[in-house]
Structure 1
């Protein structure tokens, strides 16, 4: 079936690091959408093996290389090379919904100066979820809350006009939580970030190990903002409050529409308890002098099986 082309003003930017299988699925999902991509830029960030063989299947994809480590610099280079007026940032391990580009075009035609954060949902295979997947199905990627409460959205499903992106400035590097930093700079500059529930992408669940590595990176970033005695005291209090906090989340787990079945809700509670106890332990270890650089450099992208 022939599908109409997406407006030429949209460029999809995808940072990539050692995720060849995931990238292939991502590009295939874009190709199967109701609007074909016109320009997609894959920015490889130092993969052990080039993804050239993956991108060769699609004439609308170009591959460039960013030697500076970190998804922020990779996205910056992609934005600099983009021809479109609208930048659609997507992660290599995300699967865009079939109508993703169609809805982007409609939103940006109505209000090109608005920054949009889309809905990121956990991709599920089967009805019986393990603790890590069940936990993420409820608590991961709640972009609507990030936007409303913290003034940022995730860069794995971020839509912005080039002029707005240039005005806010580039993403920061690996030693920063680049999505939060960029979004809060945009909010401080007076730009409005809106949640677009119809801009849906699906993210594969992290394994339990992957979740811990993700939190290692996040905590290393947060630690850099924890300064002075007052900051250390607040950090310690937060770490200690994490220990009993799963009890306060029982009602949310039981009533959440994001998950179904009593067994899966029990799995979600187990996953929640595990990851919050891990976070508390890591936070207390940083207070005791653990080097945050060791946590940061444990983080890396590996391909999904």
Structure 2
């Protein structure tokens, strides 16, 4: 059996190198493995990084967005099992083994795993790392809602053939695909042993950009509904005032340790929730979230594309 790993990439060479090293250090997997990296408009192609391993194929996808990049990889993949991970994620050494075990039991068809924040310096957490450890990448909760983040997702090729491809940057493609799969009768199973580590964002501006995209997607989804604008306004007010109800979570979360990390998490939580509430009101007043939804791929400097790369 063959497992195809598909990785969308955009200007993340250092992370990609670490991620590929982790994928080549997997333990316990018995299937053959192919790795497909799909570049989505980087300023410089990661061809030198990919060529270091004979089982890594580098492709190009010019339609912006991680969804179209994954679709390009799917078209070239040969595996019965398709595994998705992001370029800035590092797979735990048992990631592929967990995928193989779950998807060969004869009953499971779609799985998602645990996404954890990897601290750059565990003894010196940044302002964002404790917050993101608690509040970001809670994939078990997403799966309970019917979808998995596409940075840690695996399924059978036969399922993708029935559910269809991933959407573009105009929607949250992981939620969209997962809910379409559920509507088609498939259940997504959470596999806690299927672990990937995601770096925390470096700056508060990066965290704001993440929420800008989510706010835009949510607005475009809620706006056409009955009393959509009023519901969105109520949600904005609730978000801004929500940190007071999160004290128990911050104090008791097993994802952080020590009072210092918990204080950092609380301060960052207050800052981002106030930002989100204000941003939601701003989007509502403008009446259009689409202008901030296309953040995956911006105009990049022109570059040479080697003829050997498809």
Deviates more, 1:118-127 or 1:221-230: 221-230
Aligned length: 293
Deviates more, 1:155-164 or 1:32-41: 32-41
**Do structure 1's residue 196 and structure 2's residue 197 form an aligned pair?**
no
Shift of 1:146: 1.0
2:238 corresponds to which of 241, 245, 251: 241
Distance 1:297 1:177 in 2: 10
Cα distance, 1:104–1:297 mapped onto 2, change above 3 Å: closer
| Structure 1 residue aligned with 2:2 | 9
The answer (yes or no) to whether the contact 1:113–1:164 under 8 Å persists in 2 is: no
Over aligned residues, Cα RMSD in angstroms? 1.6
The answer (yes or no) to whether the contact 1:214–1:299 under 8 Å persists in 2 is: no
| Structure 2 residue aligned with 1:220 | 216
TM-score (norm 2): 0.91
Tell me the alpha carbon deviations over residues 85-127 of structure 1, each in whole angstroms, 9 at most, x when there is no partner: 0000010000001111112111111136421001000001223
**Do structure 1's residue 170 and structure 2's residue 165 form an aligned pair?**
yes
The answer (yes or no) to whether the contact 1:236–1:284 under 8 Å persists in 2 is: yes
| Structure 2 residue aligned with 1:255 | 252
Cα distance, 1:283–1:133 mapped onto 2, change above 3 Å: same
Shift of 1:297: 3.9
**Structure 1 gap segments, 5+ residues each:** 1-7
The answer (yes or no) to whether the contact 2:4–2:34 under 8 Å persists in 1 is: yes
**Do structure 1's residue 154 and structure 2's residue 119 form an aligned pair?**
no
> What are the equivalent positions in structure 2 for 1:1-305 lying under 5 Å apart?
8-34=1-27, 35=29, 38-111=33-106, 113-124=108-119, 125-148=121-144, 150-207=145-202, 208-225=204-221, 226-227=223-224, 230-289=227-286, 291-300=288-297
Shift of 1:260: 0.2
**Structure 2 gap segments, 5+ residues each:** 299-310
| Structure 2 residue aligned with 1:3 | none
